[in-house]
């Protein structure tokens, strides 16, 4: 009897404990939604990502070289002011179809640390194709200090690091908008439809005409976003085309092998019929 009473008390206590946080939670929600002038951006759902028809999609997809080259131009002129790309060397740029001389010129256009001079003072020298991409800041602290405390992530493998890959990157670059009415933004933050929580420290980096293309392509926001994402996807997966070709060869070989096996089987069994 006593045991039963104790049990029912425990059950009651557990029920109360379970009810109260729930009550507190639903109270919070009601409060967040009721007044029109204070909507939390965390409560605004993130829509499904747009699906872009990338040149590198599918088993036969390849990187559109012209697009990747325009994308590098955008990285060079816009993104590299804040984002590093530590895992890339200038010579890797031959992978998007730039010539050795073009790569040399690109590398030589930046100054990199070049050891010390006779007096022991640090000096700089023009970059070489064997140098890493030059980072905009010497370290993470400096990068944060220049960006209101937020860290612009290294872009070498950004395409792999985010769910949705290229579609997500494209969505972020084209997803800036005015915050919906009643939404309060934290200071220094920008509203983005696709960023988790909708408040991003990066100011909108691309607008129509942010760069001047030399191949006659019109630099609309959509085009610029596609080009830079093509470049970033190549940077994160430089071996992708080779991998796909190997995959196709393996499949062709397996089809061939199946055919041979079937022919042999027919041959062997035909004697027994
Ligand atoms: C003025 C500096 C600045 C420039 C220029 C800039 N970014 Fe950023 N970027 C940032 C900062 C800061 C963050 C971190 C934002 C945060 O965590 O709220 C960021 C974050 C990002 C993210 C990450 C979103 C995520 O999921 O974490 C992507 C993608 C991105 N930038 C792409 C680009 C591209 C592409 C360019 C060039 C077209 C570019 N950025 C130019 C400062 C910059």
Kindly report the pTM of this predicted structure: 0.82
CA of residue 61 to ligand 1 center, whole Å: 27
Atom of ligand 1 nearest to the CA of 200: 18
Q: Which one of 154, 160, 202, 203 would you pick to mutate in the ligand 1 pocket, going by the greatest count of ligand atoms within 8 A of its CB?
A: 202
User: Mind listing the pLDDT tens digit of every residue in the chain (273 residues)?
Assistant: 444 454 444 444 444 444 444 444 444 444 444 455 577 888 899 999 999 999 999 989 999 999 999 999 999 999 999 999 999 999 999 999 999 999 999 999 999 999 999 999 999 999 999 999 999 999 999 999 999 999 999 999 888 889 999 999 999 999 999 999 988 899 999 999 999 999 999 999 999 999 999 999 999 999 999 999 999 999 999 999 889 989 999 999 999 999 999 999 999 988 776
- Nearest-atom number in ligand 1 for the CA of 75 is 37
Is the separation of the CB atoms in 225 and 174 below 8 Å? Answer: yes
Separation CA 227–CA 174 (nearest Å): 12
Domain count, the chain: 1
CA dihedral 159, 43, 41, 184 (to 10 degrees): 180
Q: How far apart, in whole angstroms, are the C-alpha atoms of residue 229 and residue 219?
A: 14
> Would 178 be classed as within a structural domain?
yes
Look up residue 47 and give its two tokens.
């829509």
CA 47 to chain centre: 17
Q: Whose CA is nearest to atom 38 of ligand 1?
A: 79
Q: What is the Cα 73 distance to its own chain's centre?
A: 18
Q: What are the backbone dihedrals phi and psi of residue 71, each rounded to the nearest 5 degrees, phi first?
A: -65, -35
Report the alpha-carbon angle 71-75-78, nearest 5: 120
138 inside domain: yes
Question: Does residue 9 lie in a domain region?
Answer: no
Residue 193 lies in a domain: yes
CATH of the domain at 208: 1.10.760.10
In this structure, is residue 50 part of a structural domain?
Answer: yes
What is d(CA 148, CA 67) in angstroms, rounded to the nearest whole number? 32
Its domain, for residue 184, covers 43-88+132-242
């Amino acid at each position: 009897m006593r045991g039963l009473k104790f049990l029912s008390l425990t059950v009651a206590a557990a029920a109360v404990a379970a009810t109260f946080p729930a009550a507190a939670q639903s109270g919070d929600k009601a409060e967040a939604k009721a007044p029109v002038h204070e909507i939390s951006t965390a409560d605004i759902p993130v829509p499904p990502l747009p699906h872009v028809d990338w040149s590198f999609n599918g088993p036969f997809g390849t990187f559109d070289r012209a697009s990747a080259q325009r994308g590098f131009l955008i990285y060079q002129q816009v993104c590299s002011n804040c984002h590093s790309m530590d895992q890339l060397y200038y010579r890797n740029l031959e992978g998007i179809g730039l010539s050795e001389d073009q790569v040399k010129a690109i590398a030589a256009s930046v100054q990199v640390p070049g050891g010390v001079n006779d007096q022991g003072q640090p000096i700089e020298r023009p970059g070489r194709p064997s140098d890493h991409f030059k980072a905009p800041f010497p370290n993470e602290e400096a990068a944060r200090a220049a960006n209101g405390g937020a860290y612009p992530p290294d872009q070498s493998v950004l395409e792999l690091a985010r769910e949705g890959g290229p579609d997500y990157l494209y969505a972020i670059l084209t997803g800036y908008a005015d915050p919906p009415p009643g939404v309060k933004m934290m200071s220094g933050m920008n509203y983005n439809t696709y960023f988790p929580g909708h408040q991003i420290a990066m100011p909108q980096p691309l607008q129509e005409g942010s760069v001047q293309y030399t191949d006659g392509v019109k630099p609309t926001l959509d085009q610029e976003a596609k080009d830079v994402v093509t470049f970033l996807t190549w940077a994160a997966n430089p071996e992708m085309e080779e991998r796909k070709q190997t995959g196709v060869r393996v499949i062709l070989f397996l089809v061939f092998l199946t055919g041979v096996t079937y022919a042999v089987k027919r041959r062997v069994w035909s004697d027994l019929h």
